[in-house]
Amino acid sequence: MKDLAGIVGVTKVTISRALNTPDQVSPETLRRVQEAIRDTGYVPNLLAGALASNRSKLIVALIPSLSGSVFQETTEAMTIALAAAGYQFLIGQSGYDESREDALLDAVIGRRPAGIVLTGVVHSPASRKRLAGAGVPIVETWDLTEAPIDMLVGFSHAQVGAAAARHLHARGGRRAAVITPNDRRALARSAAFVDTMAALTGRAVPVYPAPSPTHLGHGREALARVLGKHPDTDSIFCGADSLALGVLMEAGARGITVPQQLKVLGYGDVNFAAHTTPALTTIRVNGSRIGELAASMLIQRIEKADVATRVVDVGFEFIERAST
């Protein structure tokens, strides 16, 4: 900063303002500082700045999988909102294993971020204790609970599963099966589907789990197993659109018509869902809205403002297409 000040012909205080509060510097001075930064290749030491001001500008989010497209809208929305407010955003991949999240949280909390975003509401007792004592705002996302750690933006997976059962039953599904990822949130959807469909039809509903994160191959393999044991199956609820795509492909390969012989319902409304053959009926959650709200709530708390509602249910919607 001293070198930059000498190059530009201003004080170190002016350089600091140009880096941290550019609105307090004249446009011409800001232009000269930015030009000097480009010419010298200077990279501000964010850790040193945080120590000096006792205020971090780092937000950390833990998501299960970077390849899971259902989370992409959320991370993109948070990236945009946090950058606009002057915060840096770091993403960690926690997987679907509590021990992996525990290890990541140890590393994250030790770096004293300004805020933390978590996926889901199920954490180990040790992690909940660390998070509660971290002294930073925390937003849990993509689920609901009556006992959030701090703030929460999500929806009920049990309600999704129950609504999926009612949807397929209303369209003639009587001998249903479930193909689901084996993570906690997907299994909650599956359990609610099974209970609701069983109540509606008086029939047991077979469940076929697949490892998370799932892909279309899991869907093809699972449908083959379903039809091998339950050849009269007339409807499938897939806990991820990737599984539903595999089901549609396997059904086509076997000459099974959708939806006449087999109704297929997905979850996620990923970008290919509208372009499958037939187009996939699915359940959409507004991931962008989750990201925007999570970022807004964190910023308000960091800036010492009140958050009107600490728990927000964004709900979900059916996107009905040809597959049901």
Q: What share of the chain in percent tops pLDDT 70? A: 95
In 173-240, which ranges are continuous DSSP H helix? 184-201, 216-229
Distance CA 57, CA 106 (A): 19
Question: pLDDT tier at 47 (50, 70, 90 boundaries)?
Answer: low
pLDDT of residue 304 exceeding 90, the answer is no
Instruction: Dig out the tokens for 100 from the structure.
Output: 């992996």
- pLDDT of residue 174 exceeding 80, the answer is yes
Give pLDDT, residue 48: 58
**Helix/strand/coil percent split, the chain, to 5:** 50, 15, 35
Residue 226 has pLDDT above 80, yes or no: yes
Which sequence spans correspond to the domains of the chain?
A: 2-44, 56-154+287-314, 157-284
| Averaged pLDDT, 118-146 | 91
User: Which CATH superfamily is 2-44 part of?
Assistant: lambda repressor-like DNA-binding domains (1.10.260.40)
The per-residue pLDDT for 233 is: 98
Over its C-alpha atoms, the chain yields an Rg (Å, rounded) of 24
- Neighbour tally for 64: CB within 10 Å: 23
Once rounded to an integer, what is the mean pLDDT over residues 299-309? 89
- Contacting residues for 264 by C-beta, under 8 A, at least 6 apart: 235, 236, 238, 244, 247, 248, 251, 258, 280, 281, 323, 324
- Pairing of the two strands 207-210 and 176-181: parallel
- At residue 95, the pLDDT reads 78
- For residues 296 and 210, give the distance between their C-alpha atoms in angstroms, rounded to a whole number: 35
Q: Rounding to the nearest 10 degrees, give the CA dihedral for residues 216, 221, 224, 230.
A: -100
pLDDT band at 101 (very low <50, low <70, confident <90, very high): confident
For residue 54, is pLDDT > 70?
A: no
d(CA 237, CA 313): 23
Tell how far CA 117 is from the center of its chain.
10
What is the reported pLDDT for 126? 84
Whether 56-154+287-314 shares its CATH topology with 157-284 is answered yes
Out of 103-107, 190-194, 274-278, which region has the weakest mean confidence (pLDDT)? 103-107
The CATH homologous superfamily for domain 56-154+287-314 is: Response regulator (3.40.50.2300)
Q: What is the pLDDT of residue 125?
A: 87
- Does residue 39 carry a pLDDT above 90? no
Residue with tokens 């009905």: 320
Helix axes 12-20, 46-53, angle to 10 degrees: 100
pLDDT of residue 182: 94
Position 127 scores a pLDDT of 87
Residue 228: per-residue pLDDT = 97
Q: Is 13 helix (H, G, I), strand (E, B) or coil?
A: helix
**For residue range 180-225, what is the model confidence (pLDDT) as tens digits?**
999 999 999 999 999 999 999 999 999 999 998 899 999 999 999 9
The pLDDT, as a whole number, for residue 65 is 81
Residue appearing with tokens 């979900």: 316
Tell me what pLDDT residue 46 has: 52
User: pLDDT at position 49, please?
Assistant: 54
Per-residue model confidence (pLDDT) at position 264: 98
Confidence of residue 68 (pLDDT cuts 50, 70, 90): low
Cβ-Cβ contacts under 8 Å for 138 (sequence gap 6 or more): 115, 116, 117, 118, 131, 149, 150, 151
Q: For domain 157-284, give the CATH number.
A: 3.40.50.2300
The pair of three-digit structure tokens given for residue 162, joined into one six-digit string: 């129950």
